[in-house]
Homo-oligomer: A and B are copies of this chain.
Amino acid sequence: MPIVNIQITREGSGPGRDAATAEEKAALIRGVSQLLLDVLGKPLDSTFVVIEEVPLENWGWYGMPVPELRRRRAEET
């Protein structure tokens, strides 16, 4: 009876989108549930998956919020 919590930044995976689509979320849920069945033999009805979408300014890496990190990287290149 696994619980999988997936935290991602709230943003689109392509132009014109500002969040993961329902199809992308369904693919994550299907894929990770299948993985737990394949690797550990956990039946699909015993796996819960929760996706949490985190605003970009609430996510930190390299000691700074992601928007600032991306701005710096863009300037460097």
B-binding residues in A (CB < 8 A): 1-9, 13, 20, 22, 24-36, 38-42, 44-54, 57-66, 68
Q: How far, in angstroms, from A58 to B30 measured CA to CA in the complex? A: 12
Task: Report the copy number of this chain in the oligomer.
Answer: 6
Residue contact B60 to A48, C-beta cutoff 8 Å: yes
Residue of B nearest to A3 (CB): B7
B48 touches A3 (CB 8 A): yes
- Distance from A13 Cβ to chain B, minimum over Cβ atoms (Å): 5
On whether the beta carbons of B13 and A8 are closer than 8 Å, the reply is no
Residues of B contacting A64 with CB < 8 Å? 26, 29-30
Q: For the complex, what is the distance from the CA of A51 to the CA of B2, rounded to whole Å?
A: 10
